[in-house]
Amino acid sequence: MKRIIALVDCDSFFVTCEQVVEPTLKGKPVCVISNNEGCVISRSREAKAVGVKMGMPYFMAKKEYPNVVYIKAEHDRYDWFSKRVMNCLNEFSPDVEVYSIDEAFIDLTGTRKLFKKNYTEIAHMIRNYIKEKTDIDVSIGVSHSKTLAKLASDKAKYSGGVYTIGMIKLPNELKKTDIEEVWGVGRQIQKFCKRW
């Protein structure tokens, strides 16, 4: 049986947590800045749309984008939300690997029989469950390895929240994927691959 791995990635996680706590911020350009007011560490879709860059120094962002709401990071809050999201994943599989505060791999192999759904439908079910329990939006990529699940999760952000790369779709997906987009491929490997 081929393994089925999903990567669950919380969307604009720090900002989303702040919007859950203060719903009036939803739909607005919002950035979370590092504790020492050093730089932007999370952006809402609206903030991205107006041009705020990740890592942008706070003093520059505030001057260039004065209509954006800037919030000082509250890491204890984000840890609390992260634990709630990860607890939701444990409802769907005993094999959950927390990768970072806002990402986790979940092994869905064999769960089709349990849930009587295909893997894409299971991913949608997980996404809806997390939203219902935490009000956090997530993107989920589904495939046969962690690397491919990561690639799929990046595509899921622009494809309705869930993206699946199966074996049939794989050759075409790889043809239209730049080597820089592949998780874990460093600069030296990029240079080597581009020689060919």
Q: Residue-wise over 161-182: b if at least 16 C-beta within 10 A, else e?
A: bbbbbbeeeeeebeeeeeeeeb
Which residue is listed with tokens 């927390």? 98
Strand ranges of the sheet holding 30-33, from the earlier edge strand across to the other edge: 40-43, 30-33, 69-72
Q: How far is residue 70's CA from residue 15's CA, in Å, rounded to a whole number?
A: 10
Residue 175: what pLDDT? Answer: 65
Check: pTM over 0.75? Answer yes or no: yes
Q: What does pLDDT average to in each consecutive run of 10 residues of the chain (196 residues)? A: 92 97 97 90 96 96 96 96 97 96 97 95 98 97 94 91 87 66 54 52
74 among known catalytic residues: no
Residue 1: what pLDDT? Answer: 63
Residue 36: what pLDDT? Answer: 80
Residue 35: what pLDDT? Answer: 82
Residue 187: what pLDDT? Answer: 54
Residue 159: what pLDDT? Answer: 87
Two tokens at 10?
Answer: 């919380």
Q: How far is residue 166's CA from residue 173's CA, in Å, rounded to a whole number?
A: 10
* Phi-psi group of 37: left, alpha or beta (phi > 0 → left; psi -120 to 50 → alpha; rest → beta): left
Q: How far is residue 18's CA from residue 175's CA, in Å, rounded to a whole number?
A: 38
**Distances, alpha carbon 96 to alpha carbons 8, 184, 186, in Å:** 10, 20, 26
Catalytic residue selected from 103, 121, 132, 180 = 103
